[in-house]
A and B are shown apart, each in its own frame.
Chain A
Amino acid sequence: AQSVTQLDSQVPVFEEAPVELRCNYSSSVSVYLFWYVQYPNQGLQLLLKYLSGSTLVKGINGFEAEFNKSQTSFHLRKPSVHISDTAEYFCAVTWTAGGGNKLTFGTGTQLKVEL
């Protein structure tokens, strides 16, 4: 069965420092990978996605992620975080199952940016 693991439930970081949020997946078939962000009291919105092609994908708000097939990872990075990046971040995967697509989410990583 396919699954997604986010190893860190919470990541505290100082403003303007770099950050990496880790995501590993397990799948016997090809996958599509996503990062979603959830700001307080809001729904989820797409940060970036990997479908095919270049393994380094860039998203909104200066975030980027690198797909590593050999390590089955899709870690999210930002070189310099801002207070406004404080949110919960979810890694997710889809694959074609029975002709449709369903997102499977990791358990989330709470990013807390401090002054």
Chain B
Amino acid sequence: DADVTQTPRNRITKTGKRIMLECSQTKGHDRMYWYRQDPGLGLRLIYYSFDVKDINKGEISDGYSVSRQAQAKFSLSLESAIPNQTALYFCATSEGQGGNTEAFFGQGTRLTVV
């Protein structure tokens, strides 16, 4: 089983619909992240959480919200999906206090908003 699991792997939704992407991890890490990947733009940070009670906005948080239900679970929601949110979404985890630790990524969720 994967250490970082994202569900669903693929999703097509209509404009205006609410959608939730889920992430769970078995690595025991406190820190979890949501990234969005677009061609030519690399990965951009949407939200991150350093523990269950700590949620922070990343560089592109508008139109998104998150919930850290437990140490192992971090969900990303699109309250009202729009076509320019069509992208590949990645969840990641890491441990440690500093920036010197590796991030572990899920397989990604490909979201299409029509």
Determine the distance from Cα of A96 to Cα of B97 in the docked complex, in whole angstroms. 9
Asked whether, in the complex, the Cβ of A102 is within 8 Å of the Cβ of B40, the reply is: no
Asked whether, in the complex, the Cβ of A43 is within 8 Å of the Cβ of B107, the reply is: yes
Asked whether, in the complex, the Cβ of A45 is within 8 Å of the Cβ of B43, the reply is: no
Asked whether, in the complex, the Cβ of A32 is within 8 Å of the Cβ of B99, the reply is: yes
Asked whether, in the complex, the Cβ of B105 is within 8 Å of the Cβ of A95, the reply is: no
Stretch at the interface among A12-20, A70-78, A104-112: A104-112
Partner of A9, one of B35, B40, B43: B40
Asked whether, in the complex, the Cβ of A108 is within 8 Å of the Cβ of B42, the reply is: yes
Q: Hey, which chain A residues are within 8 Å of B50, CB to CB?
A: 100
Distance of B93 from chain A, by nearest CB (Å): 11
What sequence of 0s and 1s flags, for each residue 75-114 of chain B, a beta carbon within 8 Å of any chain A beta carbon?
A: 0000000000000001010101111111101111000000
Chain B count of residues within 8 A CB distance of the other chain: 29
Chain A count of residues within 8 A CB distance of the other chain: 27
| A24 lies within 8 A of chain B by Cβ | no
Determine the distance from Cα of A103 to Cα of B98 in the docked complex, in whole angstroms. 11
Distance of B64 from chain A, by nearest CB (Å): 16
What sequence of 0s and 1s flags, for each residue 47-63 of chain B, a beta carbon within 8 Å of any chain A beta carbon?
A: 01010000010100000
Q: Would you mind naming 18 contact pairs between A and B with Cβ atoms under 8 Å apart?
A: A9-B40, A32-B98, A43-B105, A43-B108, A44-B43, A44-B103, A51-B100, A90-B43, A94-B99, A96-B98, A99-B97, A100-B31, A100-B48, A101-B96, A101-B97, A101-B101, A102-B33, A104-B45
- What residues make up the interface of A, taking CB atoms closer than 8 Å to B? 6, 9, 31-32, 34, 36, 42-46, 49, 51, 90, 94-96, 99-108
- What residues make up the interface of B, taking CB atoms closer than 8 Å to A? 4, 31, 33, 35, 40-45, 48, 50, 56, 58, 90, 92, 94, 96-103, 105-108
Known: A96-B98, A101-B96, A105-B35. 15 other contacts (CB 8 A): A34-B102, A36-B105, A42-B108, A43-B4, A43-B106, A44-B43, A44-B103, A49-B102, A90-B42, A94-B99, A100-B31, A101-B94, A101-B99, A101-B101, A108-B42
